[in-house]
Structure formats: C-alpha cells, structure tokens
Structure 1
Amino acid sequence: MAQTSLGAAASLRRPWVYLIFDYLKSEGFKKSKKGVQSAIKSLPTTVSQVYQKIFSKSKDQPIVRRVLAVLLAAGRALTVLELNIATEIQGTTQSWEDLDLEKEEDFKSRLRSWCGLFISVYDGKVYFLHQIAREFLLADVSPSTSVPQKVRWEHSIAMHHAHKILAEYCLHYISFYSPLKRLGTNNTWLPGARYFGTESFFHYSRKFWMIHFREAELNTSKDAVLFKLGLKVSNPESLCFPGLTGMHASYYSYDVIPEHHLTIVSSFGHDEIVQMLLDKGANANAQGGKYYGNALHAASFIGHERVVELLFNAGANVNDRVNDLGESSSSALRRASRHGYERIVDMLLNASALYPESSDNDSVKSSDGETPWELLP
C-alpha cells in the first residue's frame, strides 16, 4: 500500500520505510489489522509530505535551515567537521578558539537527528541523499523577492540567500586569521588552529568566499556587515589578508598578489566593493603589483565586465601599459583579447576610439602586429 501511494519511486523508498517505522513507534494506534491499515493511511503520500514529516520532528529548525542552506550553496562536499565549524560561527564569534565545537561523532548524531534521511554522511562528508532533496528545498525567487513566510520547508531557501549565509561564514572565518597564528620558519599551524579545522574549512573559505559573495547578489544598504567583512579580508593592509594569498596563488597559478586594494577586488570581480572604494577616492589608474599592474588590467584579464565599466566611469586609462608577466609591455586590450573576452574587447576598443589622443597603434596591436580579434582564441 505504501509503495503504491508513492508511485514506487525508488529514491523515496528508504525515507518512506523510515517514516513508517518511526510513525508506528511514536504514535498510538490500535494493534490490529484494521488499526495498522488506518495508521498507514494517515502517513504522507507525496514527496513534499514525506520531507515535511522529516523536518516537522526537529526542535532546532533555525539551525537546520542554516545547515541545509550551507549544503545547497557549498562549492564542494563539506566534511562533518567543516559543517560543524560553519554552523557554530556567529556574529559575536571573534576567533577560531571561540568556536564551541562538539566531537565529530556527537555532531554527526545531532545532524542526523535534525535532518533524518534527508542527508547522507559518506567517507566523512555530508551530502543530500538525492537530487530530489535539493529540488524540494530550492525556491525560485529573485533577490528582490522574499520567500513567503507561510512556506515551511518546500521551496523555502533561495539560492542567493544560501550563498549569503555561506559567504558570511567564510568571511568571518577568514577574518579570524592572523600571521601570529603560525609558528616557525616552515609556516606550520599551531596545534589549536589545526584542531579547529583551519586546514579544511579555512582553505575552503579562502577559495570559495568570492563565489558565494558574488552569487549572494548583496544589497549595499541591507548587507553592510558583509560588505565591511569583504573590504576587510581583501585589504592588503589587514592582518587577515595574508591568509588569502595561498588561495589566490594556487587558484590562478600565480605567486604574488597585487598590492593595491582596488586592483585586488577588481580581480575578484566584486563590483559593489569596487564601487565603494572608488566612492572613497581610490585611484582607478593606481599602478602596482607584479601580475596585473592596475585595476583595469586585473578586471580585463579575469573577465569581469561590470568592473571594467565601473573603472571606465571612474576615469581608468584604457591605453595604460604595464610591465608584467615577463612581457616587455602589455595593455588591458591585449589581455582581454588573449583570454577570449569579446565583450570586454569591444568595450576597450570603444573606449580607445573615444580617447584617441591617448591612443597609439601598439595599443590595438600585439608585438607581433596582431589585432585584438586575431588574438582571440
């Protein structure tokens, strides 16, 4: 009867069986053939009802929502320890040592009590049991639209909101970093830092925070705290900034970070932070750093169209040439061309046409005499 009610969906069979036995153990019913049949009829008959039943048992629904949001937005599967760390980070947490972490097995037990068979733990990593679980949670709403309060679980978490939650956890965790947390000339971690999962969630945070920050589609007025954190961790003068250098070096195969704050956030593609720095008087043509040279070169090289626009509006010189990457001389146009960013190539060519007095033939041709379109892959 139960299997028929669910359309014999194999992916739901396990949670369905779990619910049957859980219900029969916890609910009073007449112990007879008809009594059992009556009890079974009261069980959920749709996918939504199955999942609603799983979560309705939880007494810690706020933290359950945070856990599910983190799992939805995560750039890779998180370990039990990483998920434990993420859900322990609060606005009042000031350091790694402030985290009140449980033993892994204890947290895993609570995780299962919160989410039931909605999630699975395999080889120390946490996954949704199946794709249907993700689809059940995701809400298809724009950043300007809120999920209706009457929605309990089904379609209750917007992806941009999930990214916002994880961006906040990542930024807080990075902000705890200080060079003083390390010992010795070989840059080894303190035992306490290792205990707090620094080598796992910290590496995750510094690699993925930029993605979560962008995908969160933040509002500068409503999300001021997150923007403040973003400014802090990307500022080369902050104590936590050295913690980012390893990620940026390995991610882009470089070993040096640009020196200017505006250049750094331009390479990250965070247009809101770029605009905030420009509003504070940052020089759009400031030179410095080994690999990008300036903000326009960074944005053109990585392919951040909106940042290129903002820099143009702030007076960035499209024909500025920088010695970098071992090249005798390079332009933003050549960088964009070599990496196939056609839209940025168009923008740079149009800007060159608007300011011909600062242009020269070499700005639109490579050292081999190639045009930007010939340089495109």
Structure 2
Amino acid sequence: MDPLSIIASTIAVVQAISSTYKAIQHLRGLPNEFNEVNRNLPLAQDTLGLARDQLQGLALDESSKKALQPLVSGCEEKAKMLQDIFEKVEKGVKSAKDGSVLDFYRASLLRLGKAQRVETLMQGILRGLDALATNRLFKTATQSQMAQLKEAIDQLSNVESSVPDTDFDSSVTQNIASLGNRPPVFQSNEDYKTRSDILQALHTSPYLDRKYRNPDRVPGTCKWFVDHDHFQQWRESKSSSMLWVSANPGCGKSVLAKYLVGSELQTTKSRTTSYFFFKDDFEDQRSATSALSCILHQLFTQREILFSDKIVKRFEAYKGHLTSSFDELWDVLVLASQDKNAGELVCILDAFDECEDQERDKLAQALRKFYGTENDTKNNINSKFLVTSRPYDKISRRFQPLNIPGLPVIHLKGESDAEISKITREIDVYIEDRVSLIRANRDLTPDEEQLLLQRLRRVPNQTYLWVYLVLQLIEKDLSIDKTTICEVTSSLPRTVDDAYERILPKNNSQDAEEAKKAKKAKKILHIIVAAARPLTLAEMDLALALQQEHTSYEGWHRKPEERFGSYIRDLCGLFITITDSKIYLLHQTAKEFLIAKDDPDPRGGHDNPLKWKSSLQPPVSHRILCQICIWHLLFTEFETNPLDENSDDKVSHYLRDHVFLDYSATNWAAHFRASGIEDDAVIESVRRICDASSRSCRTWFRVYWANTDTGFPQGFTTLMIASYFGLEQIVRLQLGVDDVDSRDGTYQQRI
C-alpha cells in the first residue's frame, strides 16, 4: 500500500483500540499501562491526521514513498499488535471462569515476550510518529506535535509495568510454554494466583494517572527545595527520617512532589520510591488506607524480593478484606522495610491536608509512633517519609510530638519569609517562561514582551496558581500592541479569588444572555463539587439534560464529546479542566472558593463584590445531584431490560451500555442523606427505587454491590435496603409493612 493508505489504516486501528479501551476501562484491576496507552491515543491520532492531511496535497515521487514506507508501516504494525492485545484481554476476561485482568495479561505477555507490553508498543508508535514529524515532507504540518510526542515518549519510558522483567526469566517462560492456556507459574500456580490476587487488591487507586494530573515543573524551579539544607540532610541520611514540607496554596507543592518522584528521588538500585497524591475530588484519593495500599503495590512490583512468603502468609491469615485495615497495611509496610534486601525506602505523600480527617489522623499517629522516641525499630532500617501539606494547625498539632530535638523529623516551612522569598524568585522564572510562550504564540516584539513582564511583576504576593490564571486571561484577550497590553494589565485580578470571579460568567448580570450562562455554569459547578468522583463528559451530558419528565434514554441525544467539552469550557472557562474525558476543578482552591462555609465570609452578604465566592450551599449541591440520580434510576429500561442476575461478569458490559448508571447506583443514597430532602414526592420516588420486588431495584443494587467485593445478598427486602443505606424516611414507611425482625440474608443481622 502507498503511505497515505497505510496512514488511513493506522488511524482506523487507533480508533478501534480506543473503542476497545472504553469496553474494558471499568474492569477491576485493569493494569495502569492500559490507561497510559489510552492517554496517548488522541496524540497519535492527531499526528496521523496531520500527516494524512499534508500527504493529500502532495504528489509523491517513488523515492519519497520508499522513504516514508518503513516509518508508516512500522506504526501500523505496532498499532495492530496493540489492538490484538486489547481485544484478547477483553475476550479473555469475558470468557474466563476465574482469574483477573492482570492474570490474563501477564499470561499473554509471557507467551509473546516483553516487547509486546502495551506501553512498549505505544512508545514504539510514538517514536515512529516522531520520526515522521521530522521528515522534510511533514515538518510544517506536525511541528506543533513534536514537543508533545517527545514528552509522551519520555513518560512512557517511566511507566511502571505490572509485569516486571524478572517474570520473563527462561525458567518461568519454559513453565508457561508447557502449561498451554493454564495460569502462569510463579512458584506454583496457586502461589502465583495468591500473589496476583493480593497485588490486584492493593491496586486500589490508579496512582500513576493521578500523579500525571499534575503539571511538570519549569526548568529553574523547585531549586528552593532541592538546594535546601533540610532536604539535603534528609536525603543523605542513612537512617529512618521524616521530612514534612508545608507551603501555602498555589505555591507548587504537587508539582514539586511529582518532580521529586521522577527525578531527585526516583527509584534506583539501592532506593525504592513509592508515592501517593491525595486529592479531594476522588474518594479513594482521600483515604490514607488507600495510600498505604498503593505504596505497597508499588513496593512489591518494584522490589519483588520484598514480597516475601512471610508477607503473603500474613495477608492470607487476615480474615477481613486486606485493603480495608489501615493497621494491617501499616504493619506490612514496616515488616517489608525490615527485610535485609529492603535498602532505602522512600514514601512521598503529597497534599496531606486533602486526606479525610479521620484517615489523616490514623496516618499521622502511625508516623508519630514510628519516628517517636519509644520505637527502636526505625534505628536499624532506612525508611523515609516526605509529606507535603498546607501549613494548617490541625496538621501541625498532629506532628507536634515529633518536634523534639534529636528526633529524625524535619519541618521545612515553605511559608516562612526566607522560603517565600526564594519561591517568589522561582515564580518569576515561571512568569518568564510563560510570557515567552505568549510571545511566540502572539508574535510579540521584545519591547512588548518586556512591558508585559514589568506589568506582571508589579503585583505583590504572587503564586504559581495566580500567574497561571492571569496569563490565561491575558492570552485570551490580548491584542498585539503596547496600548492594549497596558489596558489589560492595568486591571489585573490581585488575588486568586479575584481571578476566579473574573473567569466565571457574571452571576448577577443584567445581560440576559450572560445571566443564562451563569445559571448553566452554576448547575455544572454544583454537580462537580458534590460528585463523589469526577464525572465523565458523557455522564455530565446526561446529568445536565435530565429532567423529571424523562423516563428513558430515548429522550437523550448524546453530544459528541469534543463538542460537549467545548460547551462546558465556554460556560466555566479556566475553572475546570478536562483530562481523559473526565471533568475536574482546576485546583482545590477553586472548590474552597465556591463552597459556602459554616463560618461565613465577613465580606459576605449583598455588598460582597465576589458574587461567586461561597455561592454554593452543599445541601443544595447534593439535592441537585440526588434528584438527577433518582430520575435516572427510575428509567424504564432498568425494569424492562434489567441486568442479568446470574452473571457478575456482565455488570461492566451493562454499565457500558447505560451511561451514568455506575455513578447513580453507587452514590444516590449518599447524596440523598446529605441533601436533607423531606419532600413527599421525592420520598415516594426513593421508595420506588428501593422496592426490592422490582427488577430495576435489583439492577442498581447489583451494580452497587459489585464494588463491595462480597457475595451478592439473597432474600433482601425493601426494609433491608433502606436500613443498609440509612434511609430513615423509607424505614419508617416500611415498618408498617415488613416484619421489623427481618434478618439480612447474607449476615443474618437483625434490622
């Protein structure tokens, strides 16, 4: 085939891979590598599209075709291999009677070889596209993609494979070959499955994805920290020690943590680095227990020798769900650190202040005990924690007992005057970098660039977040002359709150169109701040379209994701970001800006110029999302075409065909409790949802139960469901109907 046909074929294959990923993305235990591949598919498709568009306007001679042939053919070949693996995983997991996604993927790889790892194939595709981008025929068309391609290639090089090199040893491979389609051997089939099950259970959160949500540092920044004596002392220490780094919001703590993981403190032969980025917008990212699970998962996949028989037996002996016990996981971490092969263990915990209060207290107490005076265990090992947080008193008080001379605990205060001065100088480096990009994008003259820099530097108390917001606003409106630069910069927002207010449509506008936009934006923001997890674009599309009169999916006309993403960006501006088709608030401070506090802002009231600040009452937000969930769960499809009760494997496929059900089934009751709704009509709708005799109830309840990792209860009643979810109004209604002495079909507990 000619290069143009091969490129067209490769685009079709990439699109097929994306479709297959959507079918398997909900599978529990899907290795992170698959998510990383999906993250890079749009870049690959865009680059191929640019190359195709350029080729269509050229008349290539034979020598040019021969030069391009190996480049495009290599990309197509690897894309087809990638598609084959994705489809095998989908079909294999669907047909398997037992085993996990990781089991099947690992078994497939050990037969195919390490070159068939999905991240390796994706990296090969991107390398081919990078070579294509540098070809003289495509340089004009794909120049803008080259930086992204190089960055993606570098990131894929650092992907932590779920199937390490040690698994490809010849002895293991020979065992695999002799077993045919049986599970791969680690030491024995049973031993391998046990270890695989433990690792799968420990992978409670896609920690790699969550790390990459944070931007990379600008060269010349983060030096205030890595050059600091406290950090140098902590890093060079040969014994256990803890470093607590506090700094104000917007000062780049998460960017710093990401930089440390990938550069200054990356895993080496003698050091194993694990990490967890706490984040308020995911339930699993607010949990210290989940953090420990992910740290152990990283530890055991990077240093397999530490995943000892002793630790395996400890997990097996624990009768509860092994990832639900903070104390058990902490003890396992300490046990692993005592292994003679452990070396230096580094755990980086970012945004500790965004951890849920009770969970944070548990972890703080464990750290206090471990690094305290009465614990001699730490003296014989090299286990280090680096914790970043805001300088909150509630955290300082938890670590206060460690603030004793002689203890191996250091507090580096990024909010102190000396460090703020250093951070401010680095923020200036960041400003220069961003302004240089604006100069390149808008063709500013050197004088115009210097004028913009001078005007920005006049504003005191800058943060990285403020600079990002302000420059986005400037780049959006800026015309190319000194007069307009002066006009735009003469009314810069002075604080992050001011910038947030300017980003959103005017909440009290007399302009009818602006007021309409503000109303729509407010509903979107209500949903985002109340949601238990970030919604996908498709879920948000349905949530916004849904009204009480809708009774099925038939009335919903799903919008193309790209168009809908542009629509909500137009309404909410920089306040939101969209990553991997999921909608997030830009920053934790954005949520804090919007939500009304128990202690109202002293500037509040009708005279408050910040009309969006503290404008969202949490009960109202939960009420909006609760009503959406209830209307959705009453769809007739769930009664007329319910989920097959005889197959847990079909849950993921049913969810794929029923947008928003995963969210509504799992979270509606929590929103109902938080909303304080007492309306009789809503209560009646809730009673219908909980009607255990209906097929729609059994459908959403089975979806909910699929996330509990326990057997589906049999013989449950409406009263049992209402009691389980704490729905007091429904319990009171049912007490006159059901036997109050009913017992749970699974645990035989009295209601």
Q: TM-score surpassing 0.5? A: yes
Other-structure match for 2:630: 171
Other-structure match for 2:499: 50
Pairing of 1:279-294 with structure 2 (within 5 A): 281-283=736-738, 285-287=740-742, 290-293=745-748
Other-structure match for 1:312: none
Shift of 1:16: 0.8
Pairing of 1:41-80 with structure 2 (within 5 A): 41-56=490-505, 59-80=516-537
Q: Deviations over 1:285-325 (max 9, x none)?
A: 2436522557xx24xxxxxxxxxxxxxxxxxxxxxxxxxxx
Q: Deviations over 1:71-113 (max 9, x none)?
A: 1111112111111111111112111121132111110010111
The 1:45–1:92 alpha-carbon spacing in structure 2 relative to 1, beyond 3 Å, is: same
SS in structure 1 of the partner of residue 584 of structure 2: strand
Structural RMSD (CA): 3.1
1:156 aligns with 2:612: no
The 1:242–1:43 alpha-carbon spacing in structure 2 relative to 1, beyond 3 Å, is: same
Shift of 1:43: 3.1
The 1:194–1:4 alpha-carbon spacing in structure 2 relative to 1, beyond 3 Å, is: same
Other-structure match for 2:640: 180
The 1:34–1:107 alpha-carbon spacing in structure 2 relative to 1, beyond 3 Å, is: closer
Pairing of 1:319-358 with structure 2 (within 5 A): none
Whole-Å Cα distance in 1 between the matches of residues 672 and 689 of structure 2? 12
SS in structure 2 of the partner of residue 285 of structure 1: coil
Q: Is the contact made by 1:79 and 1:125 (CA closer than 8 Å) also made in structure 2?
A: yes
Question: Which AA in structure 1 matches 2:467?
Answer: R
Whole-Å Cα distance in 2 between the matches of residues 90 and 148 of structure 1? 32
Q: Is the contact made by 1:80 and 1:124 (CA closer than 8 Å) also made in structure 2?
A: yes
The 1:141–1:96 alpha-carbon spacing in structure 2 relative to 1, beyond 3 Å, is: farther
Q: Deviations over 1:232-262 (max 9, x none)?
A: 1111123421212313432441312543211
Of residues 131-140 and 59-68 in structure 1, the stretch that sits farther from structure 2 once superposed is 59-68
Match of 1:213 among 672, 675, 687: 672
Q: Is the contact made by 2:655 and 2:661 (CA closer than 8 Å) also made in structure 1?
A: no
Match of 1:259 among 707, 716, 723: 716
Pairing of 1:82-121 with structure 2 (within 5 A): 82-121=539-578
Whole-Å Cα distance in 2 between the matches of residues 105 and 60 of structure 1? 19
1:124 aligns with 2:581: yes
Q: Is the contact made by 2:478 and 2:484 (CA closer than 8 Å) also made in structure 1?
A: no
Whole-Å Cα distance in 2 between the matches of residues 181 and 264 of structure 1? 22
Match of 1:237 among 693, 698, 715: 693
Whole-Å Cα distance in 2 between the matches of residues 263 and 194 of structure 1? 25
SS in structure 1 of the partner of residue 578 of structure 2: strand
- Count of residues in correspondence between the two structures: 278
Question: Which AA in structure 2 matches 1:175?
Answer: L
Question: Which AA in structure 2 matches 1:101?
Answer: R
Q: Deviations over 1:159-181 (max 9, x none)?
A: 22211111111111111142422
Other-structure match for 1:22: 476
Whole-Å Cα distance in 1 between the matches of residues 740 and 484 of structure 2? 79
SS in structure 1 of the partner of residue 696 of structure 2: coil
Match of 2:595 among 115, 138, 156: 138
Other-structure match for 2:660: 201
Return the index of the structure with the highest Cα Rg.
Answer: 2
Q: Is the contact made by 2:466 and 2:495 (CA closer than 8 Å) also made in structure 1?
A: no
The 1:276–1:285 alpha-carbon spacing in structure 2 relative to 1, beyond 3 Å, is: closer
Q: Is the contact made by 1:120 and 1:126 (CA closer than 8 Å) also made in structure 2?
A: yes
Whole-Å Cα distance in 2 between the matches of residues 182 and 246 of structure 1? 10
Other-structure match for 2:684: 228
Question: Which AA in structure 1 matches 2:727?
Answer: H
Shift of 1:229: 2.0
Q: Is the contact made by 1:257 and 1:264 (CA closer than 8 Å) also made in structure 2?
A: no
Whole-Å Cα distance in 1 between the matches of residues 628 and 598 of structure 2? 23
SS in structure 2 of the partner of residue 240 of structure 1: helix
Q: Is the contact made by 1:70 and 1:162 (CA closer than 8 Å) also made in structure 2?
A: yes
Whole-Å Cα distance in 2 between the matches of residues 50 and 245 of structure 1? 43
The 1:271–1:116 alpha-carbon spacing in structure 2 relative to 1, beyond 3 Å, is: same
The 1:225–1:6 alpha-carbon spacing in structure 2 relative to 1, beyond 3 Å, is: farther
Question: Which AA in structure 1 matches 2:492?
Answer: L
Whole-Å Cα distance in 2 between the matches of residues 166 and 227 of structure 1? 15
Q: Deviations over 1:171-198 (max 9, x none)?
A: 1111114242259897969x9x878x51
The 1:60–1:239 alpha-carbon spacing in structure 2 relative to 1, beyond 3 Å, is: farther
SS in structure 1 of the partner of residue 577 of structure 2: strand
Alignment gaps of 5+ in structure 2: 1-454, 507-513
Shift of 1:119: 0.7
Alignment gaps of 5+ in structure 1: 26-30, 299-377
The 1:134–1:6 alpha-carbon spacing in structure 2 relative to 1, beyond 3 Å, is: farther
When normalised by structure 1's length, the TM-score is 0.65
The 1:85–1:257 alpha-carbon spacing in structure 2 relative to 1, beyond 3 Å, is: farther
Whole-Å Cα distance in 2 between the matches of residues 32 and 61 of structure 1? 32
Q: Deviations over 1:3-27 (max 9, x none)?
A: 54262210122221121233445xx
Q: Is the contact made by 2:505 and 2:572 (CA closer than 8 Å) also made in structure 1?
A: no
SS in structure 1 of the partner of residue 712 of structure 2: coil
Question: Which AA in structure 2 matches 1:203?
Answer: D
Which structure: greater helix fraction? 2
SS in structure 1 of the partner of residue 706 of structure 2: helix
The 1:215–1:258 alpha-carbon spacing in structure 2 relative to 1, beyond 3 Å, is: farther
Whole-Å Cα distance in 2 between the matches of residues 34 and 124 of structure 1? 39
Q: Deviations over 1:43-95 (max 9, x none)?
A: 32222221121112654222211111111111112111111111111112111
Of residues 268-277 and 174-183 in structure 1, the stretch that sits farther from structure 2 once superposed is 174-183
Whole-Å Cα distance in 1 between the matches of residues 606 and 558 of structure 2? 31
Question: Which AA in structure 1 matches 2:641?
Answer: K
The 1:257–1:73 alpha-carbon spacing in structure 2 relative to 1, beyond 3 Å, is: farther
Q: Is the contact made by 1:245 and 1:256 (CA closer than 8 Å) also made in structure 2?
A: no
Shift of 1:207: 0.9
Whole-Å Cα distance in 2 between the matches of residues 149 and 171 of structure 1? 34
1:250 aligns with 2:709: no
Q: Is the contact made by 1:179 and 1:242 (CA closer than 8 Å) also made in structure 2?
A: no
Q: Is the contact made by 1:64 and 1:115 (CA closer than 8 Å) also made in structure 2?
A: yes
